[in-house]
Amino acid sequence: MNLVYFFKGKTMKNMIAALIFVAVIGAGCGALKTNEPVIKEWSKTIDDKVVYYMSIDGVMVHEKDQAKSPLPPVVTPGTHPLGDKPGTPPSDAVVLFDGTEKMFKDNWEHVSSRKTKWFYKDGAMVPVKRAGDLRTKQEFGSCQLHVEFATSAKVTSAGQGRGNSGVFLMGTYEVQILDSYKNDTYADGQIGALYGRSKPLANPALKPGQWQSYDIIFDRPIFDKDGKVAKKAQFTVMLNGVVVQKHVVLSGGTGWKGPNCATHYKAHPDKLPLQIQNHGNEVIFRNIWIRELAD
């Protein structure tokens, strides 16, 4: 806007009010930082040749000085699970469960104080009806998460009652686990769904009893000082190596709030435990690791 034109004919009082308005809007725009990098381009003539330069966020393209552009840390990759053979974690992962009873006891706790408890058997964490959910003692925010699980080989129910569990990022946002092998239910409640919010792109579910895996990239939501969501959570999810959620911005909470309604965002701390749902069905877990990621 042409400010001279804008102020033409305004009284002093109006001009002061307008200046305050411009200052507030300016401050607001400053606060709404985007993730767009700052790119600058220029050129120099060297020996009659034009040489082009570019910097991204103040770092030159192809910068060799490692003080200005440090190399990423070296990570030894793990392996993907194959059938009954579990995968292995990358070298920098926080291993939450590796099939040993020690890790089950060291890293996990029950959400409720009921007497019935999950137990350890043959390399897996096994739920018990009415024992409630299980959660990590450690807290996490944005992360890459790997989880291996198997629903019961014995099929006794259908729909949401068949092999129901879930992985709750930050104890709040559910990536649904369900035995969805030839088991129809509503799309946003089958395996691979962000429960009630986003149906999966595909259904690569394996047969009941077979080991399956989730690989999840999660950006936590960020809340402002008033408790309103300033940046919504984002998910990319692979189920058995197949993308089922691709850069999905989570529109709200994933809690059940009636047969056709999900919960809303509610402000919470920057880090919270990872939680596994106990829906009363036998869904067992092995080999769980996490890599914390910057927001």
Q: Decide: 166 and 173 in contact? Cβ < 8 Å.
A: no
Token digits for 15? 């001009």
Distance of CA 230 to the CA centre of its chain: 16
* Minimum CB distance to Mg ion smaller for 120 or for 256: 256
d(CA 169, CA 113): 21
- Shortest approach of Mg ion to residue 182 CB, angstroms? 19
**Nearest distance in Å: CB 195, Mg ion:** 6
**Residue (142 or 254) nearer to Mg ion, CB:** 254
Q: How far is the CB of 202 from Mg ion (least distance, A)?
A: 19
| Minimum gap (Å) between residue 280 Cβ and Mg ion | 10
At its nearest, how many Å lie between Mg ion and the CB of residue 172? 13
Return residues touching Mg ion (CB under 5 A). 164, 166, 176, 277
Strand 39-46, strand 49-56: pairing: antiparallel
**Amino acid, res. 111:** V
Which residue, 166 or 171, has its beta carbon nearer to Mg ion?
A: 166
Closest CA relative to residue 281, chosen from 131, 129, 158, 147: 129
| Residue 229 near residue 223, CB atoms below 8 Å | yes
For Mg ion, the closer of residues 164 and 240 by Cβ is 164
Residue 233 CB, shortest distance to Mg ion, in Å, is: 17
Q: H-type helices in the chain, by residue range?
A: 3-7, 12-31, 101-107
From the CB of 173, what's the least distance to Mg ion, in Å?
Answer: 12
Which residue number is nearest to Mg ion in terms of Cβ?
166
And the tokens for 4? 């001279």
- What is residue 225's three-state secondary structure? coil
When the beta carbons of 108 and 173 are compared against Mg ion, the nearer one is 173
Bin 267: left if φ > 0, else alpha if -120 < ψ < 50, else beta. beta
CA-to-CA distance for 247 and 145, rounded, in angstroms? 15
Task: Name the residue nearer to Mg ion (CB basis): 164 or 213.
Answer: 164
Considering beta carbons, is residue 164 or 198 the nearer one to Mg ion? 164
